[in-house]
Chains A and B, each alone.
Chain A
Amino acid sequence: MAELNYDQVRTHVLNIIADIALDDDVTSIKDDLLLREQLDLDSMDFLDIVMELKKRHKIEVPQEDYPQLATMQSCVTYLTPKFNQ
């Protein structure tokens, strides 16, 4: 199976965020800025993101790696190898 590229992984992450940040416009997220600064997200929301990655894509994010989810760019960079495993 072909490996997922940046944009494809980004789409998966964005779909999850869109289902969590239900009241926010997620179409204008800037990849290099903190997600918390662009969206109304708190710690419970980040736990939701972790859970959805596990449910939808069988991807585990250990607690020590949670800081990797700070920006869209860091999310995709961190998750791409996991999507392609």
Chain B
Amino acid sequence: MINERIVITGVGLTSPLGDNLNDFRTNLLEKKSGIVHTEIRHMGKVAAGLCRFDETKYQPKKMRKRGTRVGAISIYCANEALKDAGMDLNLYDKNRVGVYLGITEHGNVETENEIHDLYNSHNLDASFWSHHHNPRTVANNAAGEVTLNLGITGPHYTIGAACAAGNLGLIQGLQMLRLGEVDVALAGGVSESTETFGIFAAFKAQGALGHHDDPALATRPLDTERNGIVVSEGGAIYVLERLSDALKRNAKIYGEIIGYHSNSDATDFVLPNTERQIECMQSALKKAHLTTNDIDIVNMHATGTTQGDIQECEAIRKLFDDTNASINATKGFIGHAMGAAGALELAGNLPSFNDQLVHSCFGITNLDPQCAIKGLVVDQPIKKNVETILNNSFGMLGINSTLIIKKYHA
């Protein structure tokens, strides 16, 4: 079982550019922006990527009010993924279903709201503090709300991995399937970060909050004029199964996860490390038994910060300069969806196996010469036979993650 092939058989997502895979893909190919201006407490007008999915499509209003925004995102994505997979969980042993969701942070939204009310409405009387605070802020909240909603009695937890978390959720799901701990994994990444002013304020204090009069240009990874990150919310949850199980039920197979890796920089709280990024990609390639020449698309983490983009480009240049890999980045379209980023950005490229297109970047008017890497799909989608996708996601405290997905072949 440890060598079982693990495949993706369902995708559920919500993003600033659509609430299902087809809409998201179409909007990426048509080069639409999902970034808008919005008002954030203590911050005023900021650019952000917001989702518009129906929060009560799969849960009662009361449970939505009791839960969290990220719980609602997770419930929506999990149900959409199962529907897409044609999977009725009632026909499964629910003890053998696991939920593994990557998160960048959790609890800030509810804590900020409670403290705001404590100071502004309750004259610092802590007896008004909500009894919902603890279940809303425990770190497993997002995955736990999914199990409550779907009656799943297998394991559930979140994986705190900064902005590498989306990939880490998928890696955890794959590992649990290979260990035989579960038969179905609902795995991916989620984020509610646009509901907390603190994350915006901290990026601004760091000089890393993207801004522009036109919100569509507020984050422009790889452009000379880029000035930072746009915070977004969203989620992408995948149904993962062992190939043998997927074949038994004639499941639609989006792709096979053939390689992965995660490592740590051990050098800085926020600054990236090119060498560790290279090692992360190399280790993922080794696990996949591939070389750089076998990769058709590299999806960059590329957040729109000056140094982050340059260092990642340097890493990619060293590995892929002599190959025919096409390079793209998604955050110019949708901003940085934090814990959801890796999983969402993979979804943006996954249809390439079928439509044979590589979506472009967004917002690059003057490409930074230091980011002018070979194969970069700067402005328009390109036609190309795609067999393998390498998906990068990196995060603070020096956490790197790489996934390699291959088009399914028997």
Contacts and interface: CB of A to CB of B under 8 A. Distances in A.
B67 to A, nearest CB: 11
Contacts of B130: 51
Interface in B117-154: 127-128, 130-132
Interface stretch (A15-23, A28-36, A76-84): A15-23
B128 A44 contact: no
A15 to B, nearest CB: 15
Interface string B58-81: 001110011000000000000000
Which range contains the number of B residues in contact with the other chain? 10 to 19
B119 to A, nearest CB: 15
Nearest to B66: A44
Interface residues of A, number: 12
Contact of A40 (B62, B65, B127): B62
A47 B65 CA distance: 14
B60 A51 contact: no
A22 B62 contact: yes
Contacts of A54: 127-128
A51 B131 contact: yes
Contact of A20 (B62, B127, B128, B131): B62
A44 B61 contact: no
Contacts of B62: 20-23, 40, 45
A61 B74 CA distance: 35
Nearest to B131: A47
Contacts of A51: 128, 130-131
A47 B60 CA distance: 19
Contacts of A23: 60-62
Contacts of A44: 66, 131-132
Contacts of B128: 51, 54-55
Interface string B36-69: 0000000000000000000000001110011000
Nearest to B60: A23
Contacts of B127: 54
Interface string B300-336: 0000000000000000000000000000000000000
18 contacts: A21-B62, A22-B60, A22-B62, A23-B60, A23-B61, A23-B62, A40-B60, A40-B62, A44-B66, A44-B131, A45-B62, A47-B131, A48-B131, A51-B130, A51-B131, A54-B127, A54-B128, A55-B128
Interface of B: 60-62, 65-66, 127-128, 130-132
CB-CB nearest 5 A-B residue pairs: A22-B61, A23-B60, A22-B62, A47-B131, A23-B61
